[in-house]
Structure formats: C-alpha cells, structure tokens
Amino acid sequence: MNNLFKVATAAALVAFSAGSFAAKPTSIVFTTNAEATDGTAYATYMVKCSNGKKVELTAWDNRRKWCVGDAGSETCEKKQIKAAKAACKAP
C-alpha cells in the first residue's frame, strides 16, 4: 500500500510540473494600427513567449476583441492576456 501511495504521488507531481513548463507570454508589445480591406480599423501586437516563440495578436472593435494571428483568424478572446496565452500554447 505504501508503494502505491508513493507511485501515485510521483505521478501527480510529474503531471503538475509538466503544466508549469508550458509556454507563457512574457511580453506584449504594440506594433502598429492598420485597416482591413473593408475599412475596419485594428491594432497589431507582438507576443513573446517563454519558449522563444513570437506570435502576432490583432485587436478589433476598439480593443474589445483579441485574435491570435492576422485579420482572418478565428481564435479570438475578450481579454488580451487570454489571447496571448492561447497564442503561446498554439502549435
């Protein structure tokens, strides 16, 4: 029974520590204001992740809608930090 408890505890610690190594946003920097082909204004930001990856975010609707990637992206959030976290987790 004691060995089973040790194995279960070790497995839980490994699972917890693996989650802490996931890429996280380290900085979000404004890049530029732009306009889509239909005239809709948006802003572009660059997210730097803890794994060295850089991903573009676009802010729409007076920065009330944050999307990962360019104007055609479907991965959007209401909060900037949620979009940045999604950008860093994306493959």
Which residues, 6+ apart, have CB-to-CB distance to 36 below 8 Å? 42, 71
Residue 74 has pLDDT above 70, yes or no: yes
State the pLDDT confidence band at 5, using cuts at 50, 70 and 90. Answer: low
| Domains held by the chain: number | 1
Q: Is residue 40 part of a domain?
A: yes
Q: Is residue 70 part of a domain?
A: yes
CA distance 79 to 73: 16
- What mean pLDDT is predicted for residues 10-14? 53
User: Could you read off the pLDDT of 13-69 as tens digits, one per residue?
Assistant: 454 444 456 899 999 999 999 999 899 999 999 999 999 999 999 999 999 999 998
Q: Is residue 2 part of a domain?
A: no
Q: Is residue 66 part of a domain?
A: yes
Burial label, 80 (beta-carbon count in 10 A; 0-12, 13-18, 19+): middle
In the prediction, which pLDDT does 64 show?
A: 94
SS3 for 40?
Answer: coil
Residue 85 has pLDDT above 60, yes or no: yes
Joined together, the tokens standing for residue 8 give 């279960």
Q: Is residue 31 part of a domain?
A: yes
- Domain, as residue range, for 81: 24-89
Q: Is residue 13 part of a domain?
A: no
Q: Interior CA angle at 57 toward 51 and 60, to 5°?
A: 160
Q: Is residue 19 part of a domain?
A: no
Quick one: CA dihedral 3, 7, 13, 14, positive or negative? positive
